[in-house]
Structure 1
Amino acid sequence: MTRRTDGEPTGRSAASASDDWLAPVGVSAAAAVKAPAELLGEYLPLLADAAINGRRPDSFELDAVRELGRRAAAQGVGARRAVDLYLSAAWRLWRQLPVVVRSSDPEKVRRSAEAVLRVLDDAIGVLVDGHQSERREMIRREESLRAEFVDDLLRGDADVSRLVERAEPFGIDLGKPHHVALVAPRDADGAVDRAAIALERAVVDRFGDREVLVATKDGRVVVVVPGGGAPAFTLLSGGDVGAALQQELHRREIAGRWRVAAGRAFPGAYGVARSYEEALEALTFADRLGFDTDVVHARDLLVYRVLGRDQTAIVDLVRDVLTPLEQVRGGAEVLLETLREYFDAGEVATEAARRLHVSVRTVTYRLARVAQLTGYSVAQPDQRFALQTAVLGARLLEWPATPLPAEP
């Protein structure tokens, strides 16, 4: 025990003789705020020491309180509850302090109160600092684990059993079907991080915090939601996850223009990766084909997937069927555009003429010219199918703007 020059004891030793009465104070405070009493550590003896001896804590003692703040965060105790615990313990201790209960000297009580409040201020400050520090580290660790999990989940080549185990903390049951939707900016005004935050709130509001996952990857927002069997999904814009996400972007006034591509729902550990691949291809096709729509669905683009899977065959088809159009003055583009609009208009010449801003006679003349050059006529069903397939292939290959690969 250390002593002051006047012979009175100093430090923790002076309060230790009566430390037994501190335990019930801590237990009572912990029960009141529903927090572990162990998070108080040596905080109550510090307060008692301050009230009795007027001593402020040393730096190592405050470091111990800071560590308790980190422990609180790690145990899932919020900063507000941790602070409530310390405040609740402080007023309970004050009510039980012998120096307050027994003293009739107002000045002595004032000094004691001042000392307690100073220690309380110091302790709360380092407690919150420790809590925030631990939370920041936890968030960084969670973000790192989340990013790794999302990459492995979307890639689909990770160990299945391990992937299922890692999915559990995120609330994802990989045995159930899931949709993947991709949200991509269509102009420079689209802030992906802001859109991700807004869409995560929207998805959690609709589905809860289980079976959903929102992340960013390669400059896009990735949204994983339950498949059509989920009750909440049937209420989601008639089951259209793409339309629902687009509505949320508008409703929450997210700046910029966005395109949403939705893959079909598939079950199993590889189902998410398959749906993601479909959504990614749908975005690619929408860009290449010049779609103006803000929502695209993989199910509507399956024919393009079939064509795109065998590029050698589609190149041969475009070369054999459409390259004769390059013989006309100005190149193949005018006749190719006429074919595109004719097929998009349901093979109705008047509608195609309206879209092209030309006369019906011009459209029929151009179609006849196509038949003359290529040997394929839109009037013959089998030839019409070959022409339309070749036109689709040309859009995928971005021909004639992009030259076809050289023949082997």
Structure 2
Amino acid sequence: MADPDPIRHASRTARGAADLELGEAAMDLLRSRLVDIAENTVTAIIAEVPGYTNALAGPMGAKIEGAVQLALGGFLRLASSGDPGTPLTPALEGAYILGRGEARSGRSMDALLAAYRVGARVSWRELSGTAVEVGLSAETLAKFAELVFAYIDELSAASVAGHTDELATSGQVRQRYLQALARSLLQGDSADQLADRAERADWEPPKTLTAVILPNAHVRGVLAALDPRTLRTEDELPGLEKEDVAVLLVPDAHGPARPALLRALRGRQAWVGPDKPWTTVRTSYERVLRTRDLGLVVETSTPVDTEHHLASLVVTSDPAALEDLRARVLAPFAKLRPATAERLIETLREWLLQLGRRDEVAAALHVHPQTVRYRMGQVRELFGDLLDDPRTVLDLTIALAAEPLR
């Protein structure tokens, strides 16, 4: 069905064209000067917009000049038709494509809009000078000015849309590449594969990466404080199936930078692995998983730093072997009542940790030093000279090291 009111639904530029009467003489003169106007416009943009100082030199400048001629030609067709139904689609499509191209070239919307402002000013100066030359009335000249700037507004809006769409599209594609890189790192792929994926994702490899696990709800608040190269994945990974957590791979958080990472995570439930060369960050990730499996109580105010639990990780690396060792070296306690055995084992553990310093053992257990002396007398009766054997002391230390985690 035909639009019953085409003027009302036309663009602002087309509506203005319906009221504009330039006359054939003015149109002929304006068309004859399109090439010069386009050239002057590009020259002004190069001079006044820093982002285009070098970009429009040579072939690129000629292409943009042609685009300006095309846009101005479309404008003059619109102005001469007096028909609000005159299509703007070709010009707007050209402006949209220009915006996408500028985004691909790495120039910002600020540079693009500045170029439009300069272009509008120069074009109007040239067009209005020609219009005055042919004797257009002040009223017609005012309408002509309104039409010029409305047209530039529509073109710039189309270019901005193209710029935004290109960034969104390229951003989505790059994000997929970054996700693929993160998965590849956590899977332990070869260094060559990782280098290829990093190049494809336009990701500059750091010296080290540190794996961090934290709830998805906390990720956004943390990322702002981390290196922009930080990789993130929420895919289901081994050891994290059906958990609402994310894995962050943080670049160059080694040495003096590690405390800054821990501070950024303060107040959030997180586990932080060791820093590793970036191609071997899988080791960091696996250590974080193992630390979580130890069953440490996570305080929301302090992230768990795996570097503080290396001994526990070593001791529990083979749970079955640890159980066998415990059963063997603690066999002398088996003949006692459970409560008595528990007290003596607890005392022996602190005695080993405190290197036999009775007062320190008493303070750790919150008992009197004489109580420690009495209990250790019982332990010596059970073990005899074995407590003076370095191998037995080593086995007991390892067997009891994981006791608080059980």
Give the TM-score normalised by the residue count of structure 2. 0.71
Largest Rg, 1 or 2: 2
Q: Alpha-carbon deviation of 1:388?
A: 0.9
Q: Alpha-carbon deviation of 1:301?
A: 5.1
Q: Alpha-carbon deviation of 1:334?
A: 4.7
Q: Which amino acid in structure 1 is aligned with residue 194 of structure 2?
A: L
The answer on 1:166 being equivalent to 2:207 is: no
Q: Count the aligned residue pairs.
A: 353
Which whole-Å CA distance do the structure 2 matches of 1:53 and 1:323 have between them?
A: 103
Choose the corresponding residue for 1:390, options 379, 387, 399.
399
Choose the corresponding residue for 1:93, options 93, 98, 123.
123
The answer on 1:23 being equivalent to 2:38 is: yes
The match for 2:237 is: none
The match for 1:256 is: 268
Per-residue CA distance 1:137-193 (angstroms, 9 max, x = gap)? 2221121111111221233224x32322333431216xxxx33334445xx897122
Q: Which amino acid in structure 2 is aligned with residue 22 of structure 1?
A: I
Q: Are the structure 2 counterparts of residues 394 and 114 from structure 1 closer, same or farther at C-alpha, using a change threshold of 3 Å?
A: same
The match for 1:242 is: 258
Q: Are the structure 2 counterparts of residues 246 and 260 from structure 1 closer, same or farther at C-alpha, using a change threshold of 3 Å?
A: same
Which whole-Å CA distance do the structure 1 matches of 2:22 and 2:216 have between them?
A: 73
Q: Are the structure 2 counterparts of residues 384 and 365 from structure 1 closer, same or farther at C-alpha, using a change threshold of 3 Å?
A: farther
Q: Which amino acid in structure 1 is aligned with residue 209 of structure 2?
A: V
Q: Alpha-carbon deviation of 1:290?
A: 5.8
Q: Alpha-carbon deviation of 1:95?
A: 0.7
Which whole-Å CA distance do the structure 2 matches of 1:189 and 1:375 have between them?
A: 55
* Aligned partner of residue 326 in structure 2, secondary structure: helix
Which whole-Å CA distance do the structure 2 matches of 1:314 and 1:335 have between them?
A: 20
Task: Map 1:34-49 onto structure 2 (within 5 A).
Answer: 34-35=51-52, 36=56, 37=61, 38=63, 41=67, 42-49=70-77
Choose the corresponding residue for 2:337, options 328, 331, 340.
328
Identity of matched residues, %? 25
Q: Are the structure 2 counterparts of residues 44 and 8 from structure 1 closer, same or farther at C-alpha, using a change threshold of 3 Å?
A: closer
Q: Which amino acid in structure 2 is aligned with residue 245 of structure 1?
A: L
Q: Which amino acid in structure 2 is aligned with residue 147 of structure 1?
A: Q
Which whole-Å CA distance do the structure 2 matches of 1:366 and 1:291 have between them?
A: 33
The question of whether the paired residues in 2 share the 8 Å contact of 1:39 and 1:71 is answered with no
The match for 2:95 is: 65
Which whole-Å CA distance do the structure 1 matches of 2:340 and 2:72 have between them?
A: 88
* Aligned partner of residue 383 in structure 1, secondary structure: helix
Q: Which amino acid in structure 1 is aligned with residue 162 of structure 2?
A: G
Which whole-Å CA distance do the structure 2 matches of 1:59 and 1:394 have between them?
A: 75
Q: Alpha-carbon deviation of 1:101?
A: 5.2
Q: Are the structure 2 counterparts of residues 377 and 29 from structure 1 closer, same or farther at C-alpha, using a change threshold of 3 Å?
A: farther
The match for 2:322 is: 314
The question of whether the paired residues in 2 share the 8 Å contact of 1:47 and 1:120 is answered with no
Q: Alpha-carbon deviation of 1:196?
A: 1.9
The answer on 1:107 being equivalent to 2:136 is: no
Q: Alpha-carbon deviation of 1:91?
A: 0.7
Which whole-Å CA distance do the structure 2 matches of 1:17 and 1:67 have between them?
A: 27
Task: Map 1:6-405 onto structure 2 (within 5 A).
Answer: 16-31=31-46, 32-33=48-49, 34-35=51-52, 36=56, 37=61, 38=63, 41=67, 42-49=70-77, 58-97=88-127, 98-100=130-132, 102-103=134-135, 105-158=137-190, 160-168=191-199, 169-172=202-205, 178-185=207-214, 191-200=218-227, 213-215=230-232, 218-225=245-252, 239-249=255-265, 255-256=267-268, 258-263=270-275, 265-266=276-277, 270-278=279-287, 281=290, 283-284=291-292, 287-288=294-295, 294=303, 296=305, 298=307, 302-322=310-330, 325=333, 328-330=337-339, 334-370=343-379, 378=387, 380-394=389-403, 398-399=405-406
The question of whether the paired residues in 2 share the 8 Å contact of 1:22 and 1:93 is answered with yes
The question of whether the paired residues in 1 share the 8 Å contact of 2:362 and 2:372 is answered with yes
The match for 1:402 is: none
Q: Alpha-carbon deviation of 1:216?
A: 5.1
Which whole-Å CA distance do the structure 1 matches of 2:141 and 2:354 have between them?
A: 91
Q: Which amino acid in structure 2 is aligned with residue 165 of structure 1?
A: D
Q: Are the structure 2 counterparts of residues 182 and 275 from structure 1 closer, same or farther at C-alpha, using a change threshold of 3 Å?
A: closer
Which whole-Å CA distance do the structure 1 matches of 2:186 and 2:327 have between them?
A: 36
The question of whether the paired residues in 2 share the 8 Å contact of 1:190 and 1:258 is answered with no
Which whole-Å CA distance do the structure 1 matches of 2:340 and 2:161 have between them?
A: 70
Q: Alpha-carbon deviation of 1:112?
A: 0.5
Which whole-Å CA distance do the structure 2 matches of 1:102 and 1:142 have between them?
A: 54
Which whole-Å CA distance do the structure 1 matches of 2:372 and 2:283 have between them?
A: 42
Which whole-Å CA distance do the structure 2 matches of 1:377 and 1:290 have between them?
A: 35
Q: Alpha-carbon deviation of 1:135?
A: 1.2
Q: Are the structure 2 counterparts of residues 271 and 100 from structure 1 closer, same or farther at C-alpha, using a change threshold of 3 Å?
A: farther
Q: Which amino acid in structure 1 is aligned with residue 71 of structure 2?
A: Y
Q: Alpha-carbon deviation of 1:52?
A: 6.1
* Aligned partner of residue 152 in structure 1, secondary structure: helix
Per-residue CA distance 1:90-110 (angstroms, 9 max, x = gap)? 111001112255445211111
